[in-house]
Each structure stands twice: as C-alpha cells, then as structure tokens.
Amino acid sequence: MKSSRLREACWTLVIGLCIGTSLLLGTAGAQQSWVDELNGSLTFYKTSYPGANWEPYSERLAVVKDAIGRGDNKTVKTEMGKWFKMLRTREQGIHDVAADELFNFAVMITPIQEYGIAVPPALGMGNEPGY
C-alpha cells in the first residue's frame, strides 16, 4: 500500500512539474510574440518602403526581445519608449504612412501598461499620450 501511494505521489509531482514548466515557457513565448509580430510588420514596411534605413528599428526590437528573455523589464520599457519616439519623429527617413501604421499597430499589441512604456504624443498634440 505504501509503495502505491509513493508511486502516485511521484507521478503527481512529475506531472505538476511538467505543467508548471509548460506554463512558464508558454508565458515567456507569449511575452515575446508581440515583439515577433512587430518584427513581422517591420519587415513588411521595409519591403514596401525600401528608401529608408529601417535597421535601427530592427536593432532596437532585437534588444527588446533579448531583454524580455532575460526578464529585464526596465530595458523593455526604455527601448520601446525610444522605438515609439523614433516612429513619431520618422527617424532614418521612414515614410509618414509607414510610420503611422506601424505606430498604431504597435500601440495595439504592445503591453504598454505592463511595462510602463511611455508613448509619445502625435506631433503637435501637446502632452497627450500617443494612444
């Protein structure tokens, strides 16, 4: 009887550890998926508007993805704030339409409140947040 209970307890522990690991890995994947979606959109705009230098945008998102993987929320907050500002100011000569569409998409999918990301206002809109 003791052997049976011990076996059940071991299986329960193993199953619990598997479920817990799956949840942790799933959460990390979900956190990075929004960055992957932004990268996908960025790739689309790179091909649609090839005259601009999109590389700084890609580099910043790579830093964000790495920071999420490390659990470095401060870097995510800082780098995404800079990324949104780059879009607002059209750094590197990106097209207005591409900047606005990418900005709006990013505001929809980025967990802004979770990270406390500062979103700059639209140009000429004063101090109102950009979303």
Q: pLDDT tens for residues 43-84?
A: 999 999 998 999 999 999 999 999 999 999 999 999 999 999
CA 102 to mean position of chain CA atoms: 13
Kindly report the CA angle at 54 between 48 and 57, in degrees rounded to 5? Answer: 125
* Phi and psi angles of residue 49, each rounded to the nearest 5 degrees, phi first: -130, 75
Residue 15 has pLDDT above 50, yes or no: no
pLDDT of residue 120: 92
Give the contacts of 111 (CB within 8 A, at least 6 positions apart).
Answer: 31, 34
**pTM of this structure:** 0.71
